[in-house]
Structure 1
Amino acid sequence: MTSHLRLSTVILPVHRWHDGGRERWQRAEELGFHTAYTYDHLSWRATFRDGPWFGALPTLTAAAAATTRLRLGTLVTSPNFRHPVTLAKELMSLDDISDGRVTLGIGAGGNGFDATALGQEAWTPRERADRFGEFVPLLDRLLRDPVVSYDGTFYSASEVRGIPGCVQRPRLPFAVAATGPRGLLLAARYGQAWVTTGDPRVNGTGTATMAEGRQGVRDQVGRLGAACAETGREPGEVEKVLLTGFTPGNPLDSVDAFVDFAAGYAEAGITEIVLHWPIPDSQFAADEKVFERIAGEGLAQLG
């Protein structure tokens, strides 16, 4: 099971492009990461709220021009400040510029700073789920079909052209972040991958063990499998992505710590592990030399 495991990273958009930004994306490619993602927020949490924070899609466009092999993606985009029509056009363009190296991580969003940045009231969990349930199928159509019209409860499209379409066919892959039953069904129907940060009921205790964290993810993988069965898909068709940094355990403490962490989650059904590129004086602080050793040695030891 570990032979299929992929290792990726997420580079938060906190560095000026000409002052360390470009070099991190190029280094991610040199280190052999499968994908380098970035968060798609307007700002994020108190630690980063009043510091540098750049836009995800321009950053990924620059990264596409600065690399040649590395896959690129958002982790994750949400409807909080996006519209499917404009997002589809930007994604199609990014897919073209990168020559088909883009994955869209997408989720329902939350109640953080993005939720009210445009002056609206924060949506309830039910409204977020309702909007997400309309957003994903429409975005799927906009990235597949040359002409789309749609009149929904939350979103509309009027004779929108999506020409020439994505380099990746029939469209660029979706990695759908979901924990609840409605979101898991969307992941099963539209996702080429599913994203989790672990079971929030386990993570939220603050005292959970690594074993409990793994069991929570194993249970989620089981529920995704049931959603796949309901939609007529094989569970193996959907990659299972774990964004670390929120589950019990510290995989960046050492290569051995990573190997133990990764082996446990691979056994739970995860096929891709995403590590945050270390950021000093934040919840993602870690030794960058250890991080680079993990990139070079971690999966080799698992194999």
Structure 2
Amino acid sequence: MTTNDRRFGVLVLPDADAPALLDRFRRAEDLGLDQLFLPDHIGNIFATEPAWLDGWTMTAAAAMATSRIRVGTLVSNPILRPPALLAKEAMTIDRLSGGRLELGIGGGIMESDHHATGTAPWPVQERVARFAEYVAVLDGVLRGDGTPYTFDGEWYSVRDLPTAPGPLQRPGPPIVVGGQAPTMLRVAAERADAWNTNGRPDASVEENVELAAAHNRRLDELCEQAGRDPRTLRRSVLLWAGTDPVTGPATLEELVERYTLAGIDEFVLCWPDDQADVGRFEHLAGTIVPKLR
């Protein structure tokens, strides 16, 4: 990998009113960042007081408010969205954006999303089994030929889903699997275009880098077992909590150097929670990031 292969993105929480979020989206593009992501939870998982808008609706707004930056979710939530619905949403936003969607998908781990939607939290084994089928449906719909799609699994079934006109990107929008569990790694190796890790918020920078390196080694093995060149799977990290270069102990330059050695080639910053930190974030995005490409 060369430094030209590196990409830098930003995760924007939908924790403000729409005009403020649209301003952040445009600012992210003006700063020259490559990717703009939103999360997909029913509310703020860290607090109950702040405003919180729907992540997928605001992803559509981001697609319309920008013209170059790639837009997507980090990550979409199977608790809230059946796979057929998510596939249609992804197809629609890929067309709205002119082919700029990056479709991040997670396992659905927040009990608050279950409680808000009146569903029982899934046991771990059920959640991972659901995830494999969930990604299979998305992959089948978005990379299909536009004909009606049918799937019959243990946890999900889809019958004669209309799939025309299909997404603009071919063979389909890049699928980003987010997660660190063994099943998530296996599904990433078999079906994804990229894998994303956010590490552990309670771990040190060194521990999180070592964790990413171990997962990357396992991903290489799983890719080879699946008959795939490991170099075709992009590796991404969300820099947050203890690895946030705006508020954490390490600089962006240090983080990029260390994570690159661990096999990471994409770096997602977080839009600051504190307005006082926005200036530092914009300095990193606008001045430091170009030097690291």
Q: TM-score, normalised by structure 1?
A: 0.90
Residue of structure 2 equivalent to 1:294: 284
What code does the residue aligned with 1:32 have? G
**Cα deviation code 1:207-232 (max 9, x no counterpart):** x4322221111111111111111111
- 1:228 is aligned, of 204, 223, 227, to 223
Residue of structure 2 equivalent to 1:30: 30
Return 77-86 or 97-106, whichever deviates more: 77-86
Distance change (3 Å), C-alpha of 1:296 and 1:160: same
SS in 1 for 2:285: helix
Distance change (3 Å), C-alpha of 1:286 and 1:241: farther
Residue of structure 2 equivalent to 1:83: 82
SS in 2 for 1:75: strand
**Cα deviation code 1:197-252 (max 9, x no counterpart):** 12x4xx5xx3x432222111111111111111111111110111101114x44411
- TM-fit CA distance, 1:121: 1.2
Q: How many residues align?
A: 290
Quick check: 1:112 aligned with 2:111?
yes
Give ranges in structure 2 of 5+ residues lacking alignment. none
What code does the residue aligned with 1:75 have? L
Alignment map for 1:205-220 (pairs within 5 Å) = 206=202, 208-220=203-215
Quick check: 1:11 aligned with 2:12?
yes
In the alignment, is the contact (CA less than 8 A) between 1:259 and 1:301 conserved in 2?
no
Q: Moved runs in structure 1, 4+ residues, more than 6 A? A: none
- 2:272 is aligned, of 278, 281, 284, to 278
Q: TM-score, normalised by structure 2?
A: 0.93
**Cα deviation code 1:107-161 (max 9, x no counterpart):** 1110331122221211111111011011100111111222111222211111111
Distance change (3 Å), C-alpha of 1:279 and 1:126: same
Q: Percent identity?
A: 35
SS in 2 for 1:117: helix
Alignment map for 1:1-303 (pairs within 5 Å) = 1=1, 3=3, 4-18=5-19, 20-47=20-47, 49-145=48-144, 146=146, 147-198=148-199, 200=200, 203=201, 206=202, 208-246=203-241, 248-253=242-247, 257-280=251-274, 287-302=277-292
> How far apart are the structure 2 equivalents of 1:117 and 1:222?
37
- TM-fit CA distance, 1:180: 2.2
- TM-fit CA distance, 1:254: 9.0
Distance change (3 Å), C-alpha of 1:28 and 1:250: closer
Give ranges in structure 1 of 5+ residues lacking alignment. none
> How far apart are the structure 1 equivalents of 2:60 and 2:143?
21
- CA-based RMSD: 1.9
In the alignment, is the contact (CA less than 8 A) between 1:105 and 1:174 conserved in 2?
yes
- TM-fit CA distance, 1:181: 2.1
Distance change (3 Å), C-alpha of 1:80 and 1:190: same
**Cα deviation code 1:28-58 (max 9, x no counterpart):** 00001110000011113242x2321111121
**Cα deviation code 1:48-78 (max 9, x no counterpart):** x232111112111111111100100100012
